[in-house]
Amino acid sequence: MQNVTSTTDTPPPPAESGFSISDNAARRIATLLREENNPAVKFRIAVLGGGCSGFQYHYEFDAKDMGENDKLFSKDGAVVVIDDISLDLLKNSSIDYVETLGSAGFEIKNPNSTAKCGCGNSFSV
């Protein structure tokens, strides 16, 4: 398991794999995983084709065994799995959990995206 550490709420620099988890995202993911009450469950991030701009981020709870093309990331109780193809599109990216007055949710900060839709879940490279 790879551990990524940070002492601030801003996303840390990406790890060797090119993906990092902010403190806020780690806290929220760890909380959600505890609520699932199944130690086998992981938080999976994937990039799928579709959406307004060509690709879209997809988040799900996953209790399946990891595939040979999956990479595991962990931080402070948060366990995140990303497949190799998605990780290639997420190179040097980070996940954050953002709460505002009107909404709350996960946000991918992806320097590879050249455009994104208004909701932030769809992007192009």
Q: What is the CATH number of the domain that holds 108?
A: 2.60.300.12
- The predicted pLDDT at position 24 comes to 97
Where residue 110 falls among pLDDT bands split at 50, 70, 90?
confident
- Is residue 2 situated within a structural domain? no
- Is residue 3 situated within a structural domain? no
- Is residue 125 situated within a structural domain? no
- Is residue 85 situated within a structural domain? yes
- Is residue 95 situated within a structural domain? yes
User: For the residues 98-112, what does the mean pLDDT come to?
Assistant: 89
Secondary structure of the chain as H, E, C letters? CEECCCCCCCCCCCCCCCEEECHHHHHHHHHHHHHHCCCCCEEEEEEEECCCCCEEEEEEEECCCCCCCEEEEEECCEEEEEEHHHHHHCCCEEEEEEECCCCEEEEEECCCCCEECCCCCEEEC
- For residue 72, the enclosing domain spans 16-120
- Is residue 57 situated within a structural domain? yes
Higher pLDDT, 10 or 32: 32
Alpha-carbon distance of 44 to 96, in angstroms, equals: 14
Is the distance from CB of 106 to CB of 59 less than 8 angstroms? yes
User: For the residues 30-51, what does the mean pLDDT come to?
Assistant: 90
Of 6, 61, 9, 5, the closest CA to residue 35 belongs to: 61
- The predicted pLDDT at position 72 comes to 94
- The predicted pLDDT at position 17 comes to 59
Question: How many domains does the chain contain in total?
Answer: 1
- The predicted pLDDT at position 80 comes to 95
Q: What burial class does residue 12 get, using C-beta atoms within 10 Å of its C-beta: 0-12 exposed, 13-18 middle, 19+ buried?
A: middle
5-24 confidence digits (pLDDT tens) = 333 444 444 445 589 999 99
Q: What is the residue type of 38?
A: N
Higher pLDDT, 123 or 59: 59
| Most confident among 58-62, 108-112, 119-123 (mean pLDDT) | 58-62
